[in-house]
Amino acid sequence: MSDDLAFWLSYITNGKHLTWYASFQFTIFAAVVGGALATIFGLLGATLKNSRFWPLRLLGSGYSNIVRGVPDVLFFLFVPLAFEQGVEWLLASQVCTADMIAAQSAAWPPCKEANWILGTPEYLVLASVSLGLVYGAFATNVIHGALRSVPGGQLEAARAYGLTAAQVLWRVQIRQMWVYALPGLSNVWMLIIKSTSLLSLLQIADIVLWADRLGAPNFLPAVGLVHEDWRWRYYLVLFVFYILVTFLSEKGFEAIMRRAGRGILSEAR
Amino acid sequence: MDRFLNELSLFAPAVVFNIYFALASIPLGFIFAVFLALGKASDNVLVNRLSRGFIYAFRGSPLFIQFFMIYSMMLALNIGFWKPWGISWFVLHPLFIGPLVLVLNTAAYTAEIFYGALRAVPRGEVEAARAYGMSKSQQFRRVVWPNLIRLAWPAYTNEVVFLFHATALVYLALPVVGQQMDLMITAKQLFERDYNAVLHYSAAALYFLAVSLTIFFIFGLIYARLMRHMPAPPRMRFKPKWIR
């Protein structure tokens, strides 16, 4: 019995498993940075949508409607790939000479010197930006609605005190908006957490990729424990992990909402 | 321009797969969701706990993981069950597993919508139905259900649009069989051929947008029909919400 326990303990702490545990940092990084960026893009989009200048208004609503109208995974894949290509195209226009282009056999990049090779850290940053852009569109919608829920009397009072339009926006409207936006933002955060499972699509060695590798059947004793297809066990662990994260976020947001709602009429929430 | 039209024609067979996945999972998911919502509102402790747990689990985890998990479970059961029964060609096919997972997933989200609508059904109307001496099933069929579906319809429309978007994940998680490729895989393959991300991905996005708008239009018509007794039927706007 204790031998068994020791065996399984050593199995789940072997090098591969430790790499798996370490790869949780990518997921957490993408969620946190993506969430922060989504809030920033959301604020930006909502301000654009509220703008008095109609092209900016169009830009804001176009951003939030088009991004929400196509699947998140499509946009999530498109942004990093398009950005990488854009940089390579710029690079190519600077460094490539006619001979280099003639020597290149592949379709892209135009010449080998303009190739920009991305590793896990670069893709992780791009993926976080991409998550921020996609879910910023959802946050734009939430924050736009919340900005309009701030009681008009508050804004009038601020204007009567002689604050400028920008001051009213930043010091009164956005300060008070959070209470109304929090329920929606908590939903956006749940969406971001769930979409961190897509990181492996950008060749990031994240928890999903490692679960697949660890669970794959092994028939060679030299490589490690011989076992059949155990992938379902590893995916079950991830399934439970995500449910736990959702549960904890729910509790966290409840606490934040209680705190942010102090001094505000409960019917407002 | 010619190139773009050509590109659109390349995607035409692919969109059929996305539509198939959506069409196969919407009716089943709808029925399953009604039972789940009733289960969540039920007084029976076991039924209540089970439906709550199911809804929470499938709403709280990524669809992508659900695909991997259920596919790998089906693979693990292959030697014990599917192979001896001679149905592994069918049970392990993406055209079966895709709708299976989508049904489980959309049922959980839809059940949550229906549960919210169920709680919003005016209490007075149910009481009046009871006072008329209607049986439980009569109450449900004649009073609760018509109220519920009208209350839930706008949110359900959003859910169906999101379900259609979720079909983009099917072949990213499951193996592609032969030439059966949906929009995302087609875009990915074309991209790997000539590295023109903007053209291929925006063509796929256009298809998604077009079908989403079509779904929205059809569901709007149904909503207008559901609300035909109202003096001024409330209009629906294309506004994918953050529910999911």
If DSSP states are collapsed to H, E and C, what string results for chain B?
CHHHHHHHHHHHHHHHHHHHHHHHHHHHHHHHHHHHHHHHCCCCHHHHHHHHHHHHHHHHCCHHHHHHHHHHHHHHCHHHHHHHHCCHHHHCCHHHHHHHHHHHHHHHHHHHHHHHHHHHCCHHHHHHHHHCCCCHHHHHHHHHHHHHHHHHHHHHHHHHHHHHHHHHHHHHHCCCCCCCCCHHHHHHHHHHHHCCHHHHHHHHHHHHHHHHHHHHHHHHHHHHHHCCCCCCCCCCCCCCCCCC
CA B183 to chain centre: 17
pLDDT digits (tens, 9 = 90+) for A47-61: 898 888 888 889 988
- Average pLDDT score over residue span B14-36: 94
**What pTM value is reported for the model?**
0.88
Domains of chain A in start order, with CATH, are: 22-268 (1.10.3720.10)
**pLDDT for residue A222:** 77
Per the prediction, chain A carries an average pLDDT of: 86
Question: A269 pLDDT band (50/70/90 cuts)?
Answer: very low
For A227, phi then psi, to 5°, come to -150, 160
Termini Cα distance of chain A: 55
- B205: nearest Cα among A68, A128, A123: A68
pLDDT of B241 higher than 80: no
Q: What is the dihedral sign for C-alpha A252, A254, A260, A263?
A: negative
- Average pLDDT score over residue span B42-66: 93
pLDDT of B64 higher than 80: yes
**pLDDT for residue A267:** 52
Tokens found for residue A52: 């008095």
Distance from CA of A137 to the nearest CA of B (A): 10
pLDDT digits (tens, 9 = 90+) for A202-257: 888 889 888 888 888 888 877 777 778 888 899 999 999 999 999 999 999 999 98
Question: A265 pLDDT band (50/70/90 cuts)?
Answer: low
Termini Cα distance of chain B: 36
- Domain span at residue B49 reads 19-178
**pLDDT for residue B235:** 66
Number of domains in chain B: 1
Amino acid at B161: V
Tokens found for residue B126: 């149910």
Q: Is residue B62 part of a domain?
A: yes
- Average pLDDT score over residue span B203-217: 90
Q: Is residue B184 part of a domain?
A: no
Q: Is residue B92 part of a domain?
A: yes
| Residue in A70, A201, A243 nearest the CB of B60 | A243
DSSP states of chain A as a string?
Answer: -HHHHHHHHHHHTSHHHHHHHHTHHHHHHHHHHHHHHHHHHHHHHHHHHT-SSHHHHHHHHHHHHHHHHS-HHHHHHHHHHHHHHHHHHHHHHHH--HHHHHH--SSSSSSGGG-----HHHHHHHHHHHHHHHHHHHHHHHHHHHHHHS-HHHHHHHHHTT--HHHIIIIIIHHHHHHHHHHHHHHHHHHHHHHGGGGGGGT---HHHHHHHHHS-B--TTTS--BS--HHHHHHHHHHHHHHHHHHHHHHHHHHHHHHTTTS-GGG-
pLDDT digits (tens, 9 = 90+) for B138-179: 999 999 999 999 999 989 998 999 999 999 999 998 888 888
- Pairwise CA distance, residues B41 & A200, whole Å: 38
Q: Is residue B121 part of a domain?
A: yes
Tokens found for residue B6: 């050509």
Distance from CA of B72 to the nearest CA of A (A): 5
CB pairs below 8 Å between A and B: how many?
A: 119
Q: Is residue B192 part of a domain?
A: no
- Average pLDDT score over residue span B66-70: 93
**pLDDT for residue B4:** 81
- Pairwise CA distance, residues B104 & B90, whole Å: 18
Q: Is residue B167 part of a domain?
A: yes
Chain-chain contact of B201 with A78 (C-beta, under 8 angstroms): yes
For A218, phi then psi, to 5°, come to -125, 125
**pLDDT for residue B166:** 92
Q: Is residue B118 part of a domain?
A: yes
pLDDT digits (tens, 9 = 90+) for A62-95: 888 888 888 889 989 998 888 888 888 888 777 7
Q: Is residue B77 part of a domain?
A: yes
Chain-chain contact of B64 with A197 (C-beta, under 8 angstroms): yes
Query: If you measure CA to CA, which chain B residue comes closest to A208?
Result: B65
Looking at the DSSP bridge assignments, the partners of residue A218 are A227
pLDDT of A268 higher than 50: no
Question: B111 pLDDT band (50/70/90 cuts)?
Answer: very high
Give contacts of B116 with chain A, Cβ < 8 Å.
none
Report yes or no for ipTM above 0.90.
no
Chain-chain contact of B205 with A74 (C-beta, under 8 angstroms): yes
- Pairwise CA distance, residues A34 & A126, whole Å: 10
Query: If you measure CA to CA, which chain A residue comes closest to B216?
Result: A69
- Average pLDDT score over residue span A160-175: 89
> What CATH number corresponds to the domain at position B133?
1.10.3720.10
- Pairwise CA distance, residues A35 & B27, whole Å: 34
Per the prediction, chain B carries an average pLDDT of: 89
pLDDT of B183 higher than 80: yes
